[in-house]
A and B are shown apart, each in its own frame.
Chain A
Amino acid sequence: MAPKNKKQKEIVQDERLQAIVLTDSYETKFMPLTSVEPRCLLPLCNVPLIEYTLEFLAKAGVDEVYLMCCSHADKVQTYIDGSKWNQAGSPFKINTIMSLESRSVGDAMRDLDNRGLITGDFLLVSGDVVTNIQFDEVLSAHRQRRLIDKDHIVTMVLTQASPLHRTRSQSVPSTFILDKKTDRCLYYQDIPSINGLKASISVDPDLLEDVDEFVIRNDLIDCHVDICSPLVPVIFQENFDYQYLRRDFVRGTLSSDLLKKTIYAYITNEDYAARVESWQTYDAISQDILERWCYPIAPDSNLLEDQSYTYESKHIYKEKDIRLSQSCKIGSCVVIGSNSFIGDASQVENSVIGRNCQIGTNVIIKNSYIWDNSIIKDNCQIEHSIVASNSVINQNVKLNSGSVIGFNVVIGDNVIVAENTRIVERPVKHLSDSSYIGDSLSSDDEFYQDIQAKRAAEEKENIVEVDEGAVNDPAIVGENGIGFAYDSESEYGDYDDDEVSSSSKHYHGLVYKLDELYLSDTSIVSSMPNRRKKRRTYSSASHATATDAEHDYNNNTDGEEDDEEDFNKEAIATVERAMENNHDLDTALLELNTLRMSMNVTYHDVRLATCTALLQRIEHFINTQTLGVKDSVHKIFGKWGQLFKRQVFEDEEQVDLLNILESLCSKLPNNNGPTIFTLALNDLYDNDILDEVNILKWWNQEGYAGKDENTRKVASKWIEWLAEAEEESDGSAEE
């Protein structure tokens, strides 16, 4: 380190500003590309996303940066190690923190707290922020408020933009209720803008007490730039079910009667701040950068050392050594990286072309993003699409709006790629575990890791499985193409009603469909005020887990919530989370236990919930045909059956468990119930959770066990075997 820096540090010891960068979003919105590259290294205008964030931090005068890495952490680390930020001239000290286990922002924050790195107020940003905000103003505003309000723990930076602004996230359009005078945040809620479907927010009137005037704002871009006090990670630690910064933490903190902490918003309408959190915002922010809304961040500021972009009028940015043929037409808002070639009569507008790209003749590229080293042959038409690095698009191909062509994919001649198609080089296997019930729960990296894990498992078990896409899909990529369709639907599972998934498509598509969204958004706006008055209140203090949210959006919005079911839901969610994130048993048990105590319920309820969760997951496996009935039961009960070890103590409780299991199984569809039940029984027995004695006791029990004919029929064989085995073992013991 330079001596100068040292000196500075000594002087401003107290003022040392730390920044935490969450490089992972714990979402899958950029799948399938994020199965190969970490999200924060995806290029935006030919610059890795993380550079924009780091540039902002450098400008903000941050002294220490901690990057919380999760998915592809090694790649992020390698990138940072080789970047200018790691060199002596860097304006801050940069550290990468491998937080491989974290599965959500909450986990990352807890990990952070465990590491004890935070010394004072810090800046929390996600690794995909693009902003030119004057941070010193934000910081001083934060400090001033801090003087007035001792309980002030977070300042959120929000940018003003009309509700339908292209840069505003359509997938998580957030609504803030703010104190009109002080910008104190009173309440927060995501409003899923579902096509034509009315959405609303419901607010606890208690929250609005002592507030003179408040505003409900649906016109803010939440770029996830927060100044947090050191208390924030602690709160996350205390509430280990907090997953999301906004949905859980902000809402939880605001509606908690105990904490009495306040959160303020800093609203700017002069500066630019936005977050690349979906393809839609990717597109919008790219265009914003090209149109210089984010000046001085523009391609010609050459964030990377080796870049050489120069600006030309009409927002055209060219790097050196590009080759344009005489008759090609370069429209406005275009970036072309070095060593790229554009053939005769080709047209490019509102697009970004990376380095070393070859674009043939008569090609039309509109509103698209062609990453490095791609080849696009003659007569192609590409609109509103993304072509990732090293891919080849052969002649006469048409990419319709919303197409995402993954890394190294080859599209054959004359192929027409349908709207919103995503194509990957190698099939990304969709694990059918319940994590994909909702996109919100799963994380980019999880996919990756699970795939790895699964592959490893496969090899180990020497099971040869024929993938759905082991052969290239000629219908999608053409005769000589390489690639598979990535089924974006499966991300949401075959879950729930079609409404959710069809609307999700819109969120995740690259194309910003104003018209359709317009309808829905106005309906939100118009429905909001009266609903607020009418609706009974429902404060979701600590139980706003993702599944819960997914499950019950409709319920939620209706505002009718059965409090007694809270525990059940909560517990199911906990177990599911544990399963999908591969938590260790102890953690899951601890969480369940805490829940049990906080909600004051019996072990019976815990068992009920656990069983439900396990069966749900098994069912999911079966439904998505990832695993057979036997395998899935074995996988789930083999491991997670252990949970019962600390839920079942007495003999009666073992019987109770069996009763629960049996009744749940009998309710399962597809007639799998009895089989599952028997298999589960076997596993539980093997794991010493159930004693033979108790099983037999249950079996011979009056009334209960005989209820379901089918179950009894299937299970009877096993019971017989059990009885025999007992005798044998008795016999052998005697010998």
Chain B
Amino acid sequence: MSSQHKDKADINVHIDSVVNKLKRRQISGSYTVAIETCQLLMRVISASRWNHPDQLIDIIAQVGKKLVQAQPREFSSGNIVRRVLSLIRDEMNDDNDVNNGNGGNNNNNNNSNYINNSVNNENQAMISSMFALLTTNENKKNTVSNQQNLQQQKSQVSSASAQLKKNTHTQDFRSIIIQGIKELIDEISSISENIETMSVDLIHDNEVLLTPTPGSKTVFNFLAKARLKRKFTVLVTECFPNETEEAHKFAKKLAAHKIDTVVIPDSTVFAVMSRVGKVIVGARSVFANGGCVTSSGVAAVCECAKEYKTPVFVVAGLYKLSPLYPFDRDSLVEVGNSGKVMEWEDSQLVGNCEVTNPLFDYVVPENIDIYITNVGGFSPSFIYRIVLDNYKAEDVNLE
């Protein structure tokens, strides 16, 4: 027992230290945050004690909540947590199906029953389907139709027996989930490769491309891969003030890959847009409505692109896809150090004028033509579908 406590204390210490690092921005950038989150979750799953997967879900949701609050504008931690939760839920369903021996055709129903069973929360059940209005729920057992009653009993019996089994198989379950997270890590780290493969099809010879996100590794790999078969020119915006250095590095790296590279000031984007064939944008996070958050300045570039009907490609790994809806710009856009815009030492300006330095930009779905992810290219209006495939509706809100 005491060792259990110790384990728990240890893991809490670890969680706290990760949370604090996130708060201090010692862990930052979607990729790093995603990987860190995966690793933390693996530790949590292996260290914490639970008898039923529901408890595990609770534990992980709690951890997720903390992580999200630590850096509310970094969505990848929340995404990863939700992915893992969905993994657990799938695993639970599989277990159930196997136990029920019913096969997949009542999967959906079964699922909702299960939720009723476990969470006993009508609201949550309601969210799952339009039928919620009419279906029965746990509280009305007496009036439940025979068939459903039967099913209910079945599932209860089976879940009871599953309970038994699970106690012995918790370890199995644990390792399955951990395996799942490992796969997730693999997926995250091999995203570039998957996206790269599409690049040759998307980029034509002698095309002029423009990228306003020189900080994105994915964009770089995308271009570098395309260069193997295509010859093209890349315009790189300078991204003053936050990514200017990175823009220069990026241009150097591209040049080293024998890509014609032109660094342009942010102000000339509109002027050159008429000659640009495609705009390639790296996203920080992609939302359910098809909008995305990326480096500041991109929204303006996309607006220009729209004016000239230049296609805008957004490259993003699946882990950047968030099931959330971007409610308002303020809650998405991190505002950074004003000192980057203007010298703080200048006493004539400091205090006499207001400076804002947003680090991110929100790009509306209408201004994006296609998302290129590691699972394929999608139109922004289809993103909700990918969200449904990867996340469970119950997990959208981690509360």
| Whether chain A touches chain B in the assembled complex (some CB pair under 8 Å) | yes
- Chain A residues packing against B (C-beta within 8 Å): 2-4, 55, 58-59, 84, 87-89, 91, 132, 159-168, 219, 269-270, 272, 284, 287-288, 291-296, 301-302, 310-315, 332-333
Task: Say whether B26 contacts A311, CB under 8 Å.
Answer: no
* B346 CB contact (under 8 Å) in A162, A272, A287: A162
Q: Which residue of chain A has its CB nearest to the CB of B337?
A: A295
Q: Which residue of chain B has its CB nearest to the CB of A333?
A: B354
Q: Which residue of chain B has its CB nearest to the CB of A89?
A: B16
Task: Say whether A293 contacts B20, CB under 8 Å.
Answer: no
Q: Which residues 333-361 of B have a CB within 8 angstroms of A?
A: 335-339, 343-348, 350-351, 354-357
Q: How far is the CB of A118 from chain B (nearest CB, A)?
A: 26
Q: Which residue of chain B has its CB nearest to the CB of A302?
A: B23
Q: Mark B16-58, 1 if CB is under 8 A from A, else 0.
A: 1101100111100000000000000000000000000000000
Q: Mark B311-337, 1 if CB is under 8 A from A, else 0.
A: 000000000000000000011000111
Task: Say whether B13 contacts A293, CB under 8 Å.
Answer: no
Given contacts A166-B350, A293-B350, A302-B23, A315 and B356 within 8 Å (CB-CB)? yes
A–B pairs, 25, beta carbons within 8 Å = A2-B13, A4-B14, A84-B16, A84-B20, A88-B12, A88-B16, A89-B13, A89-B15, A89-B16, A91-B17, A162-B345, A163-B347, A164-B347, A166-B351, A168-B347, A219-B345, A272-B337, A284-B351, A287-B351, A291-B354, A292-B338, A293-B344, A296-B337, A302-B23, A332-B354
Complex Cα spacing A87 to B345, Å: 38
Complex Cα spacing A162 to B347, Å: 6
Residues of chain A within 8 A (CB-CB) of B16 are 84, 87-89
Given contacts A88-B12, A89-B16, A310-B331, A272 and B347 within 8 Å (CB-CB)? no
Q: Is B10 an interface residue (CB 8 A)?
A: yes
* B356 CB contact (under 8 Å) in A2, A159, A165, A313: A313
Task: Say whether A89 contacts B338, CB under 8 Å.
Answer: no
Residues of chain B within 8 A (CB-CB) of A165 are 345, 347, 350
Complex Cα spacing A313 to B362, Å: 14
Q: How far is the CB of B355 from chain A (nearest CB, A)?
A: 6
Complex Cα spacing A284 to B26, Å: 27
Task: Say whether B330 contacts A312, CB under 8 Å.
Answer: yes
Residues of chain B within 8 A (CB-CB) of A295 are 335-339, 357
Q: Is B9 an interface residue (CB 8 A)?
A: yes
Given contacts A293-B337, A296-B25, A311 and B355 within 8 Å (CB-CB)? no
Q: Which residue of chain A has its CB nearest to the CB of B328?
A: A312
Given contacts A58-B20, A311-B335, A161 and B12 within 8 Å (CB-CB)? no
Q: Which residues 86-116 of B have a CB within 8 angstroms of A?
A: none
Task: Say whether B13 contacts A292, CB under 8 Å.
Answer: no
Complex Cα spacing A15 to B279, Å: 48
Residues of chain A within 8 A (CB-CB) of B72 are 310
Q: How far is the CB of B379 from chain A (nearest CB, A)?
A: 31
* B344 CB contact (under 8 Å) in A59, A161, A301: A161
Complex Cα spacing A62 to B26, Å: 14
Q: How far is the CB of A634 from chain B (nearest CB, A)?
A: 53
Residues of chain B within 8 A (CB-CB) of A315 are 335, 354, 356
Complex Cα spacing A332 to B350, Å: 14
Residues of chain B within 8 A (CB-CB) of A333 are 354
* A166 CB contact (under 8 Å) in B10, B330, B347: B347
Complex Cα spacing A164 to B352, Å: 13
Given contacts A58-B20, A315-B356, A292 and B335 within 8 Å (CB-CB)? yes
Given contacts A293-B344, A314-B354, A58 and B14 within 8 Å (CB-CB)? no
Residues of chain A within 8 A (CB-CB) of B335 are 292, 295, 311, 313, 315
Q: How far is the CB of A187 from chain B (nearest CB, A)?
A: 22
Q: How far is the CB of A638 from chain B (nearest CB, A)?
A: 53
Q: What is the number of contacts between chain A and chain B, taking CB atoms within 8 Å? A: 106
* A88 CB contact (under 8 Å) in B9, B19, B336: B9
Q: How far is the CB of B388 from chain A (nearest CB, A)?
A: 29
Complex Cα spacing A2 to B337, Å: 34
* B357 CB contact (under 8 Å) in A84, A162, A269, A292: A292
Chain B CB within 10 A, most for which of A84, A91, A166, A291: A291
Known: A87-B16, A310-B330, A315-B356. 19 other contacts (CB 8 A): A3-B10, A4-B13, A89-B14, A89-B15, A89-B16, A89-B19, A159-B345, A161-B344, A162-B347, A162-B348, A163-B347, A269-B343, A272-B344, A287-B351, A288-B350, A293-B339, A295-B337, A313-B335, A315-B335
Task: Say whether B24 contacts A58, CB under 8 Å.
Answer: yes
Complex Cα spacing A163 to B25, Å: 32
Task: Say whether B345 contacts A160, CB under 8 Å.
Answer: yes
Q: Which residue of chain A has its CB nearest to the CB of B359?
A: A295
Residues of chain A within 8 A (CB-CB) of B20 are 58, 84, 89, 91
Complex Cα spacing A296 to B71, Å: 11
Interface size class on chain B is 20 to 34
Q: How far is the CB of A75 from chain B (nearest CB, A)?
A: 25
Residues of chain A within 8 A (CB-CB) of B351 are 166, 284, 287, 291
Residues of chain B within 8 A (CB-CB) of A2 are 10, 13-14, 17
Considering the complex of A and B, which 8 residue pairs feature the smallest CB-CB distances, nearest first?
Answer: A89-B16, A295-B337, A165-B347, A161-B345, A162-B347, A88-B13, A2-B13, A292-B338
Task: Say whether A292 contacts B336, CB under 8 Å.
Answer: yes
Complex Cα spacing A272 to B16, Å: 27
Q: How far is the CB of A500 from chain B (nearest CB, A)?
A: 25
Residues of chain A within 8 A (CB-CB) of B355 are 291-292
Complex Cα spacing A270 to B342, Å: 10
Q: How far is the CB of A21 from chain B (nearest CB, A)?
A: 18
Residues of chain B within 8 A (CB-CB) of A312 are 330
Complex Cα spacing A179 to B346, Å: 24
Complex Cα spacing A291 to B357, Å: 10
Complex Cα spacing A363 to B345, Å: 34
Q: Mark B354-375, 1 if CB is under 8 A from A, else 0.
A: 1111000000000000000000
Complex Cα spacing A316 to B5, Å: 42
Complex Cα spacing A311 to B331, Å: 7
Residues of chain A within 8 A (CB-CB) of B14 are 2, 4, 89
Residues of chain A within 8 A (CB-CB) of B354 are 291, 314-315, 332-333
Residues of chain A within 8 A (CB-CB) of B331 are 310
Q: Which residue of chain B has its CB nearest to the CB of A291?
A: B338
Q: How far is the CB of A599 from chain B (nearest CB, A)?
A: 44
Complex Cα spacing A55 to B344, Å: 21
Task: Say whether A296 contacts B350, CB under 8 Å.
Answer: no
Q: How far is the CB of B43 from chain A (nearest CB, A)?
A: 11
Q: How far is the CB of B342 from chain A (nearest CB, A)?
A: 9
Residues of chain A within 8 A (CB-CB) of B19 are 89
Q: Which residue of chain A has its CB nearest to the CB of B358?
A: A313
Complex Cα spacing A55 to B72, Å: 19
Task: Say whether B345 contacts A301, CB under 8 Å.
Answer: no
Q: Which residue of chain A has its CB nearest to the CB of B23?
A: A301
Residues of chain B within 8 A (CB-CB) of A296 are 24-25, 337
Residues of chain B within 8 A (CB-CB) of A269 are 343-345
Complex Cα spacing A269 to B340, Å: 11
Given contacts A2-B10, A332-B354, A293 and B338 within 8 Å (CB-CB)? yes
Task: Say whether A55 contacts B24, CB under 8 Å.
Answer: yes
Q: How far is the CB of B65 from chain A (nearest CB, A)?
A: 13
Chain B CB within 10 A, most for which of A159, A295, A302: A295
Complex Cα spacing A53 to B15, Å: 23
Task: Say whether B17 contacts A272, CB under 8 Å.
Answer: no
Task: Say whether B26 contacts A272, CB under 8 Å.
Answer: no
Q: How far is the CB of B352 from chain A (nearest CB, A)?
A: 10
Complex Cα spacing A481 to B126, Å: 58
Residues of chain B within 8 A (CB-CB) of A55 are 24
Q: How far is the CB of A137 from chain B (nearest CB, A)?
A: 15
Q: How far is the CB of A674 from chain B (nearest CB, A)?
A: 57
Residues of chain A within 8 A (CB-CB) of B24 are 55, 58-59, 296
Complex Cα spacing A552 to B41, Å: 66
Task: Say whether B330 contacts A311, CB under 8 Å.
Answer: yes
Complex Cα spacing A55 to B23, Å: 10
Complex Cα spacing A3 to B14, Å: 10
Residues of chain B within 8 A (CB-CB) of A301 are 23
Task: Say whether B347 contacts A270, CB under 8 Å.
Answer: no
Q: How far is the CB of A169 from chain B (nearest CB, A)?
A: 13
